[in-house]
Amino acid sequence: MNLNTIILYSKYISLLKKRNFNTPQLLKAGLYIISSASFLLALITISSVQMQRQAIKSVAKDSIPSVITAQRIKDTLVGMEANAVDELLIVPTDYIGAPQEYEKRRQSAIASYEERRKAFSERIIIAARNITYGDAELKPIETLQLKLGDYIAKLQRAREFHERGDTNGTLIAHREASQIMDNTLIPAVDQLDKVNLQQLERIYAQISFQTTCSLFLILIFGTLLLSVLVITQVFLYRRMRRILNPMLLAATAITLIFIGHITQSLIAASSNLVVAKEDAFESLYALRQARAIAYAANADKSRYLLDRQNPLKHEQAFFQKVNQIVKLPVGQTWNDAKYRLIAGKKVEDMTGLLATDINNINFPGEHEALITTISTFYKYLDIDKQIRQLERSGKHLEAVKLSTGKNQGESNWAFSEFKKAHQASQDINIAVMNKSIEQSFQNIQVLEVITVLCTFSISTLALFGLRRRLREYEI
């Protein structure tokens, strides 16, 4: 028995003596306090667990999927635009001696466009079904649904001009379509992404605060219950010369084990959520942003060849986006940087979303996957350099074929390779995120049942433990 317990006990007994309580009354008072403290501890614990579970659900099942869906919607939009421009770049007169090649390239571009359009339809439905935050989500989704029709209508006009061989009409109609894409659709999906990301950060901050408060209250009431149990045990020893009351001793042991288990479970759930959100999701979000920007850059590459009156504008837009994805220090090549990264060293002044991720490795296999992702992206950029050299040399048709081709060594093939490698990097973070979220739920599984059983057992043991002593006074 430590000094604090003795002091607390002495004050408690002195107070009761002043009020002239007899032993049975004191034991009954102790029993009532134990029962009340057990009930309050159960109430606070169950409330804390339910709040924790709901908060985890809000983060894992509502906010994170909504943010990722918004990013995937953006992928589909800029992917539609890139494939639409590729279709407009393929001119029948350039393939007079090779109609089969013309039709193959044209159908390939159309099929890729349709795949992106269908993906948009599927993802916008998912977003609409998962509206959690009212008009803040609803309005961007409505804009996307309504204005996409305007974009498609303008694009169809460009196709009609293209079929008639009207280059100027094609260009004007496509510019109108691209303005809808750049000025309306992309801002709307960015707003949808922003709303869900803000809600995610808000809820995540609340979880941290709630967990701290819950643990504080559980420890306060748990300590109160333990103190009363110990004081009652001491009282029995001093007043009735009973060394130990087995029932009270069992109640005290259950209380200690229960408080330890609940505390450990809530901390573990919170820790797993930290891994899911701060480690896995934030890396995944950066990767998703890089993917969407890469799709947009790919569209700018094609626009550079289509809108030959404004090549500098599209070229600048392309390289601006490339630098957002990854940018090497001046005078350094990717091969130089790759060797340093493979050796486990950082590349100073390497910036961009992929650079941030590779400097923040958390999981096995992630480092190698990101190196492969960046390598495939630089292969794509090497082919882009060839496209621009051909275009500047007056070899427009060769540039278009290299840009729209899907055979090995051509631009769209390289972009597909980048997407595959990029997906492998995403999969690592997705797997860890999902596993951590599942573990977070498991950490607090059936805690309500455990709480009820433990607190009921504590009260029951205290009742039976003290009833025998009370009966001694009934004789």
Nearest to residue 16, comparing CAs of 27, 32, 31?
27
- pLDDT one-digit tens code per residue, 199-253: 889 888 888 888 889 899 999 999 999 988 888 888 777 766 666 778 888 999 9
321 band by pLDDT with thresholds 50, 70 and 90: very high
Kindly indicate the confidence band of residue 55, based on its pLDDT and cuts at 50, 70 and 90: confident
362 confidence band (pLDDT: 50, 70, 90): confident
User: Do residues 399 and 387 lie in contact, with contact meaning Cβ atoms separated by under 8 Å?
Assistant: yes
**C-alpha distances in Å from residue 212, one per residue of 54, 216, 219, 260:** 16, 6, 11, 15
So what's the pLDDT on residue 466? 72
pLDDT bucket at 408, cuts 50 / 70 / 90: very high
Give the per-residue pLDDT at 347.
85
Locate the domains of the chain by residue range. Answer: 25-325+361-471
Contact 437, 61 (CB under 8 A): no
Q: Which pLDDT band, with edges at 50, 70 and 90, does 179 fall under?
A: very high
- Whether 459 shows a pLDDT value over 90: the answer reads no
pTM of the shown model = 0.84
pLDDT at residue 168 is higher than 90: yes
**Cβ atoms 452, 49 nearer than 8 A:** no
Instruction: Read off the tokens for 21.
Output: 């309580």
Q: If pLDDT is split at 50, 70 and 90, which confidence band does 15 have?
A: low
> Binning pLDDT at 50, 70 and 90, where does residue 472 land?
low
State what percent of residues in the chain have pLDDT above 90. 62
Which pLDDT value is given to residue 26?
A: 66
25 versus 96: the higher-pLDDT residue is 96
